[in-house]
């Protein structure tokens, strides 16, 4: 496919002698379509070329050699250079590419040969997998799928919270009352009850707390009984978590949690010791980060046990050696911003290639709030993720019963709509914003929601079914799509690959989500303004192929977000 922006940038670079990469960064798509398809603000060059922006724009226009290729016209407006692409070039370019690539439309090879580690989801073993874990799971999965689509070799890591003193407590609780609880039947609920009960006992009796700490030390030292119990808790928890991952269609390439690094942490301590970076502070061993205006990073606690930070540092070294990553991306809440700043700083002392420490990236996100306010365990309004997803499916099924009671495969379609609604609601805004969880908004078929883009996709499918055939690209008369509404869709479809690159570059799935809404809305306007079936054969064929292309891109984009499209609704 012709890269219009690249070709325009090449010409401007030749004329101005300014680096191509710099010029490409400046070229933008005007928000007002009357101002052209691409715009170059010459203000950016005024200082460098020592000329007024208007003069620079005029000189570039006079010397550019593109008009015969694909440029319809070039206009100078207040220091902006506006480029108008020939409609025929846009239309033939886009529809031919759709025909050639089909389900691979928008794919890229820019990531070939590059490894990206993405650390996401990471729930705690033996604790409820609740709505608060949703964001890391779906944001991380969307970033993973987008990078993979752009050609990168992605390694999705579920860095499970499967280590720490809480397991010493669970082991102690299970020793005392294990026979009272059926953890095989209702794993997480039963383990939570044990955990709450032993915690209460620890508050009353310091000796019990010491026993719990000893259990964890035994676990670290490989005590057979403690390891057997820990393995049992972990395996049963993962079985429960997998139900949620199956509903969300989320997969991982590695399940190496904190415990995996238990035999790899001593190396971290040894390196920091050798470099005389470890200091004793109130009984704990720390790395002082005062010169970086950060609190100290605790490497060993007062009792000699390691910390979350030590395990993360061990993971960085392991991943660098194992995966040779370009980027190691962590998707966690903004509450952990300081933690990652600290470990990224300490990682610079671990004898790693600068490539690895430069590739450490924390992707923070906001919290999930209910419409009624913030969630709280004390208030009893924590929502389990599995329960939430099942509720979404149930509500979607009720809506289908009201709107289309005779629909076949209702349950399967309700599953796609319900799960899609939850995912889209999470990804629709910039990740750093807190998410408001509101059923009424989420399952609306007319708003800017998952069900809306699914509804528009289904409409594209039904139009092609109604026509009874799919036109061949070789038979399309591109001139039949030069109306305003058709061209708007064409230009949006053209920009799809660029949208994916922007989303990956900024680690923002909402860029894709917003694009899909805009494409769906633009198709809706096209549908309302243009008769698709019943016109002359040439017009019908052209509009049907554009309808097919729209549905295809909606489906691909939604899949990258983790959303399946139903064929009917």
Nearest partner of 453 among 564, 353, 328, judged by Cα? 564
The reply to whether 376 falls in a domain is no
Last residue of some domain: 40, 65, 85? 85
Q: Are residues 193 and 336 in the same domain?
A: yes
Q: Are residues 133 and 165 in the same domain?
A: yes
The reply to whether 380 falls in a domain is no
Report the alpha-carbon distance of residue 103 to residue 106 in Å, rounded. Answer: 9
The reply to whether 96 falls in a domain is no
Q: Are residues 317 and 355 in the same domain?
A: yes
Whether the per-residue pLDDT at 240 is higher than 60: the answer is yes
Q: Report the alpha-carbon angle 115-496-428, nearest 5.
A: 85
Q: Are residues 277 and 328 in the same domain?
A: yes
The reply to whether 107 falls in a domain is no
Last residue of some domain: 338, 369, 400? 369
CATH number for position 48 = 3.30.1360.70
What does R_g of the chain's alpha carbons equal in angstroms? Answer: 28
pLDDT of the residue at 381: 53
Whether the per-residue pLDDT at 376 is higher than 70: the answer is no
The reply to whether 17 falls in a domain is yes
Domain of 491? 385-561
- Say if CB 305 and CB 215 are below 8 A apart: no
CB-facing half-sphere around the CA of 241: CA atoms within 13 A: 25
The reply to whether 452 falls in a domain is yes
Reported confidence tier of residue 372, pLDDT bands at 50, 70, 90: low
> Which residue(s) pair with 328 in the sheet?
117, 360
pLDDT of the residue at 382: 65
DSSP 129: -
Report the alpha-carbon distance of residue 145 to residue 556 in Å, rounded. Answer: 11
Measured between alpha carbons, how far apart are the two ends of the chain, in Å? 34
Cβ neighbours of 92 (radius 10 Å) = 17
Q: Are residues 19 and 144 in the same domain?
A: no
Q: Are residues 326 and 470 in the same domain?
A: no
pLDDT of the residue at 379: 44
DSSP 251: -
CATH number for position 194 = 3.40.50.620
Q: Are residues 268 and 137 in the same domain?
A: yes
- Give whole-number Cα distances, 452 to 92, 444, 521, in Å: 29, 7, 9
Q: Which of 52-61, 175-184, 516-525 has the highest mean pLDDT?
A: 516-525
Percent of the chain whose pLDDT exceeds 90: 78
CATH number for position 393 = 1.10.730.10
Report the alpha-carbon distance of residue 123 to residue 386 in Å, rounded. Answer: 13
Task: Pick 442 or 233 by higher pLDDT.
Answer: 233
Report the alpha-carbon distance of residue 314 to residue 321 in Å, rounded. Answer: 11
pLDDT in tens, 269-292: 999 999 999 999 999 999 999 999
Counting the structural domains of the chain, the total is: 3
Q: Are residues 447 and 361 in the same domain?
A: no
Q: Which of 27-31, 165-169, 260-264, 507-511 has the highest mean pLDDT?
A: 507-511
Crossing angle of helices 187-204/206-220, nearest 10°?
130
Q: Are residues 171 and 81 in the same domain?
A: no
The reply to whether 375 falls in a domain is no
Work out the mean pLDDT of the chain and round it to a whole number: 92
Cβ neighbours of 346 (radius 10 Å) = 23
The reply to whether 542 falls in a domain is yes
Cβ neighbours of 185 (radius 10 Å) = 9
Q: Are residues 145 and 264 in the same domain?
A: yes
Reported confidence tier of residue 122, pLDDT bands at 50, 70, 90: very high
Whether the per-residue pLDDT at 528 is higher than 90: the answer is yes
pLDDT in tens, 312-329: 999 999 999 999 999 999
Q: Are residues 519 and 554 in the same domain?
A: yes
pTM, full prediction = 0.93
Q: Are residues 337 and 394 in the same domain?
A: no
pLDDT of the residue at 66: 66
Q: Where are the beta strands (DSSP E) in 42-96?
A: 71-77, 80-85
Last residue of some domain: 369, 399, 421? 369
């Amino acid at each position: 496919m012709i890269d219009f922006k690249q070709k325009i940038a090449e010409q401007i670079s030749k004329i101005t002698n300014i680096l191509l990469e710099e010029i490409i960064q400046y070229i933008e798509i005007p928000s007002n379509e009357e101002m052209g398809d691409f715009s170059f603000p010459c203000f950016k060059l005024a200082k460098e070329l020592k000329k007024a922006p208007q003069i620079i724009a005029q000189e570039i226009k006079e010397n550019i050699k593109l008009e015969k290729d694909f440029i319809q016209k070039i206009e100078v407006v207040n220091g902006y250079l506006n480029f108008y692409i020939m409609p025929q070039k846009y239309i033939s370019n886009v529809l031919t590419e759709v025909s050639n690539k089909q389900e691979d439309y928008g794919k890229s090879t820019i990531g070939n040969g590059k490894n990206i580690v993405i650390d996401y989801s990471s729930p705690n073993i033996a604790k409820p997998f609740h709505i608060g874990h949703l964001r890391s799971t779906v944001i991380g999965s969307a970033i993973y799928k987008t990078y993979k689509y752009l050609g990168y070799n992605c390694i999705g890591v579920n860095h499970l919270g499967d280590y720490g003193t809480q397991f010493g407590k669970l082991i102690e609780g299970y020793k005392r009352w294990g026979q009272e609880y059926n953890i095989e039947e209702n794993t997480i609920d039963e383990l939570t009850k044990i955990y709450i009960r032993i915690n209460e006992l620890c508050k009353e009796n310091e000796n019990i707390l010491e026993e719990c700490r000893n259990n964890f030390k035994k676990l670290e030292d490989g005590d057979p009984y403690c390891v057997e119990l820990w393995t049992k808790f972990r395996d049963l928890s993962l079985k429960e978590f997998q139900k949620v991952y199956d509903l969300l269609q989320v997969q991982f390439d590695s399940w190496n949690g904190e415990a995996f690094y238990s035999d790899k942490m001593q190396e971290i301590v040894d390196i920091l010791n050798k470099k005389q970076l470890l200091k004793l502070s109130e009984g704990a061993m720390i790395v002082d980060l005062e010169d970086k205006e950060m609190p100290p990073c605790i490497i060993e606690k007062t009792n000699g046990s390691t910390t979350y930070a030590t395990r993360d540092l061990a993971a960085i070294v392991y991943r660098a050696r194992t995966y040779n990553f370009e980027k190691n991306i962590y998707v966690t809440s903004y509450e952990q911003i300081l933690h990652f700043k600290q470990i990224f700083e300490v990682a610079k002392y671990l004898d790693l290639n600068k490539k690895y420490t430069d590739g450490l990236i924390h992707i923070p996100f906001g919290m999930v709030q209910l419409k009624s306010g913030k969630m709280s365990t004390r208030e009893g309004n924590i929502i389990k993720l599995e329960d939430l997803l099942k509720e979404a499916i149930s509500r979607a099924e009720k809506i289908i019963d009201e709107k289309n009671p005779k629909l076949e495969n209702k349950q399967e379609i309700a599953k796609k709509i319900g799960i899609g609604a939850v995912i889209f609601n999470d990804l629709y805004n910039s990740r750093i914003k807190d998410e408001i969880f509101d059923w009424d908004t989420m399952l609306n078929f007319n708003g800017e929601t998952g069900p809306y883009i699914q509804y528009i996709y289904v409409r594209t499918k039904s139009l092609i079914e109604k026509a009874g055939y799919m036109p061949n690209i070789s038979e399309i008369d591109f001139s039949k799509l030069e109306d305003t509404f058709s061209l708007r869709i064409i230009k949006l479809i053209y920009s799809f690959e660029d949208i994916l690159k922007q989303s990956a570059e900024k680690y923002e799935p909402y860029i894709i989500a917003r694009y899909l809404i805009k494409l769906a809305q633009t198709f809706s306007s096209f549908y309302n303004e243009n008769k698709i079936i019943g016109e002359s054969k040439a017009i019908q064929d052209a509009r049907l192929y554009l309808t097919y292309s729209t549905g295809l891109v909606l489906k691909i984009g939604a899949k990258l977000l983790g959303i399946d499209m139903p064929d009917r609704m």
